[in-house]
Amino acid sequence: MKEGPDIALLGSLIGDPARANMLTALMSGKALTASELAAEAGVTLQTASSHLKKLETSELLRQRKQGRHRYFSLADDDVGAVLEALMGLAAKRGLVRTRTGPKDPALRKARVCYNHLAGELGVQMFDSLQARNLVSGDADHVALTRAGENFAVEFGIELENLKKSRRPVCKPCLDWSARRNHLAGSLGTAMLSRIHDLGWAKRLDDSRIVAFSQAGEAAFLKAFPI
């Protein structure tokens, strides 16, 4: 047997249709119950529990208990990044399971990718930061410049707290709909949180869509021009 990372095992865990649906549902960044995930996967609760156990044992999911309920979420940013990259590759190769529907344009425009902003506006934010030399790097690694650090602080980000985290401050993440990078890492999470705090946008219930108000989108485009 050859040595090294077992990508075949990882592929089989993610590739099962029911488990893929569960993992995709958790890309919203919300923790969901086993019953909710069973509904997303279209399987019975008993079958869902078996799938969840495999995902948890492989450390792709984590579980926490609150009262009588158990909630599941993606284990960490690495899992979210892998899923988003696979979604991007599938979209690029035309491997799409369903036809586009009425909600798809809003999903493509702005959505949550685990814990940061994705979609057209997420890509614009990343492009704007790059164009103004606020971040530097390549398709795989980016970092804040000195000017970028000043911008982040002025935007209301507690940058020093982000630097103390084990997570990378900046991380490019392939956007499955735009097929270009948007901003992940602790800064990406903080940016989305700040956008919510400013009242520019809000999450739609039971959806990954981030809906900007007219004034909020205008303010966003002013803060992140191309």
Long-range CB contacts for residues 2-9, cutoff 8 Å, separation at least 24? 9/58
Tell the residue number behind the tokens 């019975």, with chain if given: 44
Same-domain pairing of 57 and 148: no
Instruction: Decide which of 75, 91, 125 is a domain's last residue.
Output: 75
Q: Does some domain include residue 84?
A: no
Asked whether residue 142 falls in the same domain as residue 36, the answer is no
Q: Which of 2-11, 81-90, 100-109, 214-223 has the highest mean pLDDT?
A: 214-223
pLDDT at 97 over 80: no
Task: Determine the pLDDT at residue 102.
Answer: 45
User: Looking at the predicted structure, is the pLDDT value of residue 114 above 60?
Assistant: yes
Same domain, 70 and 117: no
pLDDT for residue 206: 77
Domain of 67, CATH number, reads 1.10.10.10
Residue 28: per-residue pLDDT: 82
Residue with tokens 């700040």: 194
Residue 129 lies in a domain: yes
CA 198 to chain centre: 20
Q: Tokens in use for 198?
A: 């400013």
Is residue 88 situated within a structural domain? Answer: no
Q: Is residue 56 part of a domain?
A: yes
Domain presence at residue 2:
no
Instruction: Please report whether residue 1 resides in a domain.
Output: no
| pLDDT one-digit tens code per residue, 149-199 | 999 999 999 999 999 988 899 999 888 888 788 999 999 999 999 999 999
Are residues 209 and 130 located together in one domain of the fold? Answer: yes
Q: Where are the alpha helices (DSSP H) in 16-110?
A: 17-25, 34-41, 45-57, 77-92, 104-109
* 138 and 39 together in one domain: no
Q: Which of 47-51, 99-103, 120-124 has the lowest average pLDDT?
A: 99-103
Same domain, 111 and 218: yes
**Domain coverage including residue 25:** 7-75
Tell me, what's the pLDDT at 65?
A: 86
The verdict on 127 and 194 lying in the same domain is yes
- Percentage helix, strand, coil, to 5, in the chain? 50, 20, 30
- Pair 143, 71 in one domain: no
* Average pLDDT for 55-81: 90
Mean pLDDT along residues 72-89: 87
Query: How many domains is the chain built from?
Result: 2
Interior/surface letters 21-58, b for 16+ CB within 10 angstroms, e for the rest: bbbbbbbbbebbebebbbebbebeeeebeebbeebeee
Q: What is the mean pLDDT of residues 37-62?
A: 93
- Which pLDDT value is given to residue 98? 61
What is the model's pLDDT at position 68? 81
123 occurs within a structural domain: yes
Q: What percent of the chain has pLDDT over 90?
A: 62
- Position 177 scores a pLDDT of 81
Residues 13 and 121 in one domain: no
> Are 130 and 178 found together in one domain?
yes
Note whether residue 68 is domain-resident: yes
Q: In angstroms, how far is CA 34 from the centroid of its own chain?
A: 21
Choose the weakest-confidence range: 70-84, 92-106, 120-134.
92-106
- E runs forming strands in 75-194: 111-113, 116-118, 135-137, 142-144, 171-174, 181-184
Q: Per mean pLDDT, which range of 96-105, 130-139, 211-220 is the poorest?
A: 96-105
**Final residue belonging to a domain, choices 75, 90, 123:** 75
